[in-house]
Structure 1
């Protein structure tokens, strides 16, 4: 078993004075300080790609920048699943004896380094070059296909999607580092411009600058650091496709399998989860993940929203930091921010957004167009 012993992040939003590598380094420094260790204690490094500051060997670049010479380093290339998958990989390499203390640091100045337009262009290569990209689709248009099928199948409305965006904004208003700091109403969402019908602007995740980092070590070693360890109880991962035209079922994805594996490993069930951090690149994914991960039956997620069961004081608080929709999405660091929030919740360090009696958290990452699914279950106690 492994544990997270340090977390660190930066503000989210527009940070024109910081590059991608600087954001990663700043988050790493904050995580090391949080753990009460020295940077030289790090002997494993996991990073990820940056669209704004591309490098062929990003984890080696980060290691050099931090003055490290690790015995293990690699870069994740799983999109929004990278943050959770990096924790699963850290567990594997620590158990294998490759290293003792793994730094996972992700970050990007995607907003000021690229801007919304250039970011969308760079992400257009998710489409298959022969069968999709030639028709000019964007990431939102692919998710619009999924949203349309789901909404028609389960009689879900635009208002239901809007409630997801409002939930996240209400939570983000409680986070000091959140990108978005103004209130949001259902009417605001429904009046925002179309991006790819049925998805409007406020149904889509932000493009932000920011960085986040965590430190993973063995259960035994976790007692040597100042922060209370948060233990990895279960992990599951599933890849079903790369290009969405290869997928037949648009209403359920690999999150069913990744969630099942994580719950089986942890020896618990969805009813034992106190707080859920779900990948919210679009409002539709939150509804689908609630169902695929077993928190409700298919087609019932919208009802949880209507009953206010997903608020911080509700039955299953979801994304109390505001998620990608309102806290921020600086590339792959957006998914890792979900892990940070889970750790802070389990440490009882979330201030006025704290979920009462949070002992077990689920964190889920989604990469590509619902292509790769990664699920963590974290616990205050081992």
Structure 2
């Protein structure tokens, strides 16, 4: 009888037991399916478990019947599936759903996997760089005016600057410190240090964002394996526990967004911290979705690391570096390391890597030299339309 067939009298603890990246950066040749498979095999090998324990599968963004197509490609026949798709926050929300299912005994081990050849597809003319959304529903009132995704983020950033005096230099600091983290990560796509002046002098993409305020475009994939505590004794690595999760969806049309300076992470973060029984001040590292510099800044505020309006000042003086006061996006983030379409799952991989002490030259250490104990991964989807936050601990 499998673990999940037993009656769960009390919720089971859930751990991340396997993580892996596929080949990332400039990847020529492999299909997105192949990157899914590569990441999945590596994550399973990292866990030390047999593939037969996997009875749950979560995937989005690929295939006519996601995740059925991808599960079939991987040779899996899961009895629990999730194809939630809420943009970049998808993977934190999926992790929350999977953890709930495992805790309740509905699944034993759930594999979350993602892969994309976004960069290669653009170069080959198979897709455009700008997201295209249908004109039905609430978006029909914005699409005719050519209101692109980056323009929506730029509007929100400008509002924060107007309300709180946030400066272009403070936003640029987010990019500079992300690159400083990437410079120590051999897997990062861009590692050459940059300065605030270089960020500010770059070509304008959507005011106030210049090129270096925006995420890179890469190929790549990753996978995360979650499992019930019953399987932990059989794993190859020490477990990293899911302590608390939260999710929240906000708006689709910009006209329905009540305050451009508050993201849905304000609620998903509060829920995750409350359920984990910890406070923002307890967190050692933060992995935050950073398609644009403003995302990092406002999410730091909404997660409670600083007061509303103080994100710009908080980001100064190297606080976000791997060796700073609050290391953020320790691998270099979407601004410098990798961003193959949706980055949310990469946040979980990097958080676990740091908690395990496997990050090499960009490994975070506490003041006493010990490994970090607590991490938060917070993904954002759409144009601050959705948020998923996960608190993890050793």
TM-score range, shorter chain: over 0.9
Secondary structure of the structure 2 residue equivalent to 1:306: coil
Find the partner of 1:341 among 318, 326, 350. 350
Distance in 1 separating the partners of 2:224 and 2:194: 31
Q: CA offset at residue 44 of structure 1?
A: 0.9
Secondary structure of the structure 1 residue equivalent to 2:16: strand
Hey, what does 2:91 align to over in structure 1? Answer: 83
Distance in 2 separating the partners of 1:349 and 1:248: 41
Instruction: Pick which of 171-180 and 261-270 moved more.
Output: 171-180
Q: CA offset at residue 298 of structure 1?
A: 1.4
The runs of 4+ residues in structure 1 deviating greater than 6 Å are none
Distance in 2 separating the partners of 1:255 and 1:217: 26
Hey, what does 1:159 align to over in structure 2? Answer: 169
1:45 aligns with 2:57: yes
Hey, what does 2:178 align to over in structure 1? Answer: 168
Change (3 A) 1:95 1:20: same
Distance in 2 separating the partners of 1:322 and 1:231: 24
How many pairs are equivalent? 375
Contact conserved, 1:108 with 1:211, CA < 8 A, in 2?
Answer: yes
Hey, what does 2:244 align to over in structure 1? Answer: 234
For residues 1-382 of structure 1, the aligned pairs below 5 Å read: 1-50=13-62, 55-115=63-123, 118-125=127-134, 128-332=138-342, 334-356=343-365, 357-380=371-394
Change (3 A) 1:318 1:130: same
Instruction: Pick which of 318-327 and 112-121 moved more.
Output: 112-121
Distance in 2 separating the partners of 1:354 and 1:145: 35
Secondary structure of the structure 1 residue equivalent to 2:327: coil
Q: CA offset at residue 115 of structure 1?
A: 4.2
Secondary structure of the structure 2 residue equivalent to 1:120: coil
TM-score (norm 1): 0.94
Q: CA offset at residue 37 of structure 1?
A: 1.7
Q: CA offset at residue 187 of structure 1?
A: 1.8
Q: CA offset at residue 286 of structure 1?
A: 0.8
Instruction: Pick which of 232-241 and 65-74 moved more.
Output: 65-74
Distance in 2 separating the partners of 1:73 and 1:21: 18
Contact conserved, 1:219 with 1:231, CA < 8 A, in 2?
Answer: no
Q: CA offset at residue 281 of structure 1?
A: 1.1
Any gaps of 5 or more consecutive residues in structure 2? 1-12, 366-370
Q: CA offset at residue 249 of structure 1?
A: 0.7
Contact conserved, 1:123 with 1:139, CA < 8 A, in 2?
Answer: no
TM-score (norm 2): 0.91
Q: CA offset at residue 121 of structure 1?
A: 3.6
Q: CA offset at residue 17 of structure 1?
A: 1.0
Contact conserved, 1:204 with 1:325, CA < 8 A, in 2?
Answer: yes
Q: CA offset at residue 95 of structure 1?
A: 2.6
Secondary structure of the structure 1 residue equivalent to 2:122: helix
Contact conserved, 1:292 with 1:298, CA < 8 A, in 2?
Answer: yes
Q: Deviations over 1:108-164 (max 9, x none)?
A: 101102349834344454994421111112110010110110111111111111111
Change (3 A) 1:284 1:125: farther
Secondary structure of the structure 1 residue equivalent to 2:111: strand
Q: Deviations over 1:16-36 (max 9, x none)?
A: 211111111101111000001
Distance in 2 separating the partners of 1:248 and 1:377: 27
Q: CA offset at residue 278 of structure 1?
A: 0.9
Contact conserved, 1:48 with 1:75, CA < 8 A, in 2?
Answer: yes
Distance in 2 separating the partners of 1:129 and 1:329: 25
Instruction: Pick which of 205-214 and 123-132 moved more.
Output: 123-132
Change (3 A) 1:176 1:304: same
Contact conserved, 2:88 with 2:344, CA < 8 A, in 1?
Answer: yes
